[in-house]
Amino acid sequence: MPSESQVMTWPDLLERPQPAPDQLIAYGPGELQFSELWRPAGAGPHPTVLMIHGGCWQTEIAERDIMSWIAADLRGRGIAVWNVEYRGVDRGGGYPETYRDVLAAAESLRSNAARLGLIADPVVAVGHSAGGHLALWLAAAAALPEDHPLRPASSIDIKLVLSQGGIPDLVGASGRPDHPCGADAPRAMLGGEENTTVTSAFAMTPGSAELIMLHGADDAISPPSYGEEFAGSMAGKGRRVTVEVIPGEGHVELIAPGTRSWARQVEIIEAAMGRSPPQ
């Protein structure tokens, strides 16, 4: 682990021995259209986290396996994880395809839950970085106009969205060419400013899920101001958003077991599921 004065870098996480999921479940015919199941031992039914990775909405930058370590940690705590893969903007994604993938993955969890011994009514949705945007979007999708093609026919019941350094404002992100993610990927996710209120979580009508924005104070990818700005936008729509900032940590710590960021998230997830952490 790095010293307390130094935030983690990607090798600090990615060079750890990597755990493996229990099963892959396809939700579509494409090579990126599947979810990983991390299933605890025992018959269940197991409380479930729907997890969405980040990577600037680009498959070349990151895939679902960057979430492996926290998925394994939750599995060891008796919590199942449905870790979603999807098409990034560089692999046939963007608007509307990436959103359709996320919807299909959520519906796949809902339709497979009973046979796999999972509790999918409700679930906790967790998303890191660009995946934070997608988790927030998924929770709001049920409030899209009835005739909109991205409105789910039968939405999954999301009790809580935990955004791990999420990037919820696609319009703002599209105007930041010097950001590490660049501006092209969020523009592709926006699909034109006419789609702002149906793609950008910042501008959407919120659903009923509890919303928590958790940031590392020293996060250079998604600083705490992103969460605070999102909370301000939702306050204007009559919704309260909780923003928590972890001092001395950055973007990688959010998905790394053994950090203060992850310990706090475990507390939040356990509480949402009505579970008490071990004493």
Q: Flag whether 11 is in a domain.
A: no
Cα 39–Cα 45–Cα 50 angle in degrees, nearest 5: 55
Quick one: pLDDT at residue 57? Answer: 98
Using CA atoms, how far apart are residues 86 and 64, in angstroms rounded to an integer? 8
Q: Flag whether 236 is in a domain.
A: yes
Using CA atoms, how far apart are residues 33 and 42, in angstroms rounded to an integer? 27
State pLDDT tens for residues 160-175: 999 999 999 999 999 9
Total tally of structural domains belonging to the chain: 1
Q: From start to end of 188-268, where are the E strands?
A: 210-216, 242-246
Residue 100: how many CA atoms within 13 Å on its side-chain side?
Answer: 15
Residues in CB range of 35: below 8 A, 6 or more apart: 24, 25, 27, 64, 82, 83, 84, 85, 105, 108, 109
Q: Flag whether 277 is in a domain.
A: no
State pLDDT tens for residues 91-126: 999 999 999 999 999 999 999 999 999 999 899 999
Q: Flag whether 220 is in a domain.
A: yes
* Band of residue 156 on the pLDDT scale cut at 50, 70, 90: confident
For tokens 């071990």, the residue is 278
Q: Considering the chain, what is the average pLDDT of its residues? A: 95
| Whether the predicted pLDDT of 3 surpasses 50 | no
Using CA atoms, how far apart are residues 209 and 50, in angstroms rounded to an integer? 13
Global pTM exceeds 0.85: yes
Q: Flag whether 109 is in a domain.
A: yes
State pLDDT tens for residues 238-271: 999 999 999 999 999 999 999 999 999 999 999 9
Quick one: pLDDT at residue 80? Answer: 98
Nearest by Cα to 39 from 70, 82, 68, 69? 82
Q: Flag whether 28 is in a domain.
A: no
Range of the domain at 167: 33-272
Q: Flag whether 174 is in a domain.
A: yes
Quick one: pLDDT at residue 278? Answer: 45
Residues in CB range of 241: below 8 A, 6 or more apart: 211, 212, 213, 227, 230, 231, 234, 235
State pLDDT tens for residues 167-216: 999 999 999 999 999 999 999 999 999 999 999 999 999 999 999 999 99
Quick one: pLDDT at residue 149? Answer: 93
Q: Flag whether 265 is in a domain.
A: yes
Helix (H) or strand (E) holding 82: strand 80-84
Strand partners of residue 224? none
CATH number at residue 208: 3.40.50.1820
Using CA atoms, how far apart are residues 93 and 90, in angstroms rounded to an integer? 7
